[in-house]
Structure 1
Amino acid sequence: MAPNTWQRWTSADIPDQRGRTALITGANTGLGFETAKLLAERGASVIMACRNADKAAGAAARITASVPDATVSTLRLDLASLASVREAAERIRADHSRLDLLINNAGGIRPRYAVTGDGFESTFATNHLGPFAFTGLVLDLLLAVPGSRVVTVSSIGHRRGAINFDDLHFAHGYRYTHAYFQSKLANLMFTYELDRRLSATGVSTVAVAAHPGNARTEFGREMPLPVRVLMRPRLRLLTWWLMQSPQKAALATVRAAVDPDVRGGEYYGPPGRAQYTGYPTRVTSTPLSHDAAAQRRLWQESERLTGVAYLLGEPVPGTRS
């Protein structure tokens, strides 16, 4: 049964998550923190995977202070470093035999051009290549759980994105908006291709995407001054139609992760044409995001760049997405 896209879905609709383990990247602040808190409140065992160990510990303490019986742990994970990705995956595999949810929430944007230690443009590395590699390295822990999910957080900015296969790392001219939009389009293409491959393999694990609309989070600290001004909480009475709280924005990710009616290859975010604010519903992405040939090419390039090969079959006609 398809989800009712017109029904208002709130935190009250989150099912009991006791007995489930959820790993959330970038969980120390903003949307990731709110996602972790909502799942912990419903009884999930939450792993907060973050770049900064001290900030992760502080965020975990804030959750346990408000949810005294919460089970929360932390994991150091820097998605811009393949070495860190592999180290974090090894630790998870050593400490856990299964994962019910992997939520690829962490993301970033670099106003100035930067290259990681692996030689990748930083935004593309953090937002796509790192999550691609980490998902592949822990995927078998998800495959061990019937009905497990991989949720990847994209953005309405994907609408302005294009995958520049001739210059994925912007070596020949960098605009931070183009880099960000490319990475968010890549998130969707990865989700759809992953879900098809999961379906072709015959497993019940699914891949789903979500986007928060426009949220007032620390993410905006890297944005130009006019955008930072608009994101200020003191202006919320004027910008209620444009910006929403991180608590409300996180519901799209949570719905994609736990709503029992969600199906593989779907995409969740605020409703309406603009999709800026509102309670989450099933939404659509651009035709470019559904280009199967481009998805396969991006997948192959991602495997080549990261050195992480998924043990999944090639998608076939008639599979999901």
Structure 2
Amino acid sequence: MTWTTDDIPDLTGRRAVITGVTGGLGLHTAIGLARKGADLVVTARDSAKADVALARIAKDAPGASVDVVSLDLADLADSRRAAADVVKAYDRVDILINNAGIMIPPKSETKDGFELQIGTNHLGHFAWTAGLWPLLSASGARVVAVSSMAHTAVGSIDLDSLTPQGSSRPYKRWQSYGESKLANLMFALELDRRAKASGSPVVSVAAHPGYASTNLTKTGMNVRGVSLPGVGIHQISKIIGQPASHGAWPLLMAATDPSLTGGEYVGPGALGGWRGRPKLVGMTKTARDIGLAADLWKASESAAGVTFTV
């Protein structure tokens, strides 16, 4: 049976927290949940962009309850601060969607000195989720990590990228992006394993949007100013990628499908995973590597300066 947004259950009285809603997947995911009655807590770095997103949500989901939390995932202290603010402000979180990210920028670093993609896409979310954990666990939340087909292009994760000295290899933007997305997927699976082993009611799943046309390519490559290759890739994506609203379908299914019990991976079901209605999809052998996942978790705790005990 084909999943559609009509399959999203009534979410009245349930709270969803989503990172990165100023455009693309995050915005359409927020709209999809708000239309079903969810109360939203959304994060953004830029308050002006957040205002535009709120106006769009209000237009497409009239009457939606939306709060905004400032969050910069490229700053570990800010990730921890934002999580503490959410824990203090709310009594429960039913859905957490870790969506925000950056893609293929020039060689850059986070505020803490980590390569920008692994630092933002994985490490910032790791610290943020660790800070939210007491509330997530008490709420029996559904946690969704947003990965990518790019995880299939790499065979491991250079854990040196999570150390103070960093990786010794030359920077390759696509390789680093793929590793950050592999880390997102491995985090989701490891969180699921730890939650089940501890008896936690939290359900951890992952999703990917296929090839969706968003601003991710443009913002990443233009991190240090306008990049002509970035403009070109962005225009190509607009032509051959599926709309961001369709790319959000796997995220919405992962966040709301009651049949999911943890450890699943949801993505588009057509054209080799590039587009189409969402379904359960496969992942690489590396993504299922339990030993590497445990090492990644330990390295992430050290790098983020947190203890993430499930």
- Identify the TM-score tier after normalising by the shorter chain: over 0.9
CA contact (8 A) 1:14 1:42 kept: yes
* Aligned match for 1:71, one of 65, 78, 90: 65
Counterpart-to-counterpart distance in 1, 2:16 and 2:33:
8
Query: Is residue 2:250 matched to residue 1:256?
Result: no
Query: Percent identity, aligned pairs only?
Result: 42
Q: Which moved more, 1:164-173 or 1:115-124?
A: 164-173
Counterpart-to-counterpart distance in 2, 1:226 and 1:308:
40
Counterpart-to-counterpart distance in 1, 2:136 and 2:161:
33
* Aligned match for 1:154, one of 147, 150, 167: 147
Task: Tell me the equivalent position of 1:18.
Answer: 12
Q: Which moved more, 1:271-280 or 1:76-85?
A: 271-280
Q: Deviations over 1:268-301 (max 9, x none)?
A: 0011572000000000100000000000000000
Task: Tell me the equivalent position of 2:211.
Answer: 214
Following TM superposition, where does structure 1 have runs of at least 4 consecutive aligned residues deviating by more than 6 angstroms? none
Counterpart-to-counterpart distance in 1, 2:159 and 2:260:
32
What secondary structure does 1:280 align onto? strand
Counterpart residue identity of residue 252, structure 2: V
Q: Deviations over 1:2-22 (max 9, x none)?
A: xxxxx2111111111101000
Q: Deviations over 1:160-184 (max 9, x none)?
A: 1230124454443101101100000
Task: Tell me the equivalent position of 1:135.
Answer: 129
CA contact (8 A) 1:53 1:75 kept: no
Distance 1:58 1:228, change over 3 A: closer
What secondary structure does 1:270 align onto? strand
CA contact (8 A) 2:270 2:277 kept: no
Query: Is residue 2:115 matched to residue 1:121?
Result: yes
Query: Is residue 2:194 matched to residue 1:197?
Result: yes
Per-residue deviation, 1:145: 1.8
Counterpart-to-counterpart distance in 2, 1:271 and 1:103:
21
Q: Deviations over 1:190-236 (max 9, x none)?
A: 1111110000110211110000000011112145355323223xx4x
Q: Which moved more, 1:100-109 or 1:53-62?
A: 53-62
Map 1:305-320 → 2, pairs under 5 A: 305-312=303-310
Map 1:85-124 → 2, pairs under 5 A: 85-124=79-118
Q: Between Structure 1 and Structure 2, which shows a larger proportion of helix residues?
A: 2
Per-residue deviation, 1:38: 0.5
Counterpart-to-counterpart distance in 1, 2:160 and 2:24:
34
Task: Tell me the equivalent position of 1:227.
Answer: 233
Counterpart-to-counterpart distance in 2, 1:47 and 1:167:
31
Task: Tell me the equivalent position of 1:176.
Answer: 173
CA contact (8 A) 1:48 1:60 kept: no
What secondary structure does 2:159 align onto? coil
Counterpart residue identity of residue 257, structure 2: D
Q: How many residues align?
A: 297
Counterpart-to-counterpart distance in 2, 1:246 and 1:58:
17
Counterpart-to-counterpart distance in 2, 1:68 and 1:226:
36
| TM-score between both structures, scaled by the size of structure 1 | 0.89
Counterpart residue identity of residue 219, structure 1: L
What secondary structure does 2:37 align onto? coil
Q: Deviations over 1:34-56 (max 9, x none)?
A: 00011011000011111112211
Task: Tell me the equivalent position of 2:269.
Answer: 271
Task: Tell me the equivalent position of 2:224.
Answer: none
Counterpart residue identity of residue 228, structure 1: H
CA contact (8 A) 1:110 1:122 kept: no
Distance 1:95 1:167, change over 3 A: closer
Q: Which sections of structure 2, spanning at least 5 residues, go unmatched?
A: 222-228
- What RMSD over aligned residues (CA atoms) do the two structures have, in Å? 1.4
Counterpart-to-counterpart distance in 1, 2:48 and 2:168:
34
Counterpart-to-counterpart distance in 1, 2:42 and 2:30:
7
Q: Which moved more, 1:209-218 or 1:60-69?
A: 60-69
